[in-house]
């Protein structure tokens, strides 16, 4: 599995985007990116 290291700023930004989406689609997209699909 791919390990991705993010700065605290990047993590906060991602969490903000996920909160704005307020649904599972964003999580699915992130999983696709992590496994190299989509």
For the chain, which residues make up each domain, given as ranges? 1-38
Return the percentage of the chain with pLDDT > 90, whole number. Answer: 0
Q: What are 33's two structure tokens?
A: 């990116």
Integer Cα distance of 22 and 37 in angstroms: 22
- Taking residues 7-27, report their average pLDDT: 75
Residue 3's pLDDT band, with cuts at 50, 70 and 90, is: confident
Mean pLDDT of the chain: 72
Which pLDDT does position 18 carry in this prediction? 72
């Amino acid at each position: 599995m791919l390990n991705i290291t993010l700065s605290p700023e990047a993590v906060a930004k991602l969490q903000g985007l996920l909160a704005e989406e307020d649904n599972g689609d964003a999580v699915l997209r992130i999983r696709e990116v992590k496994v190299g699909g989509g």
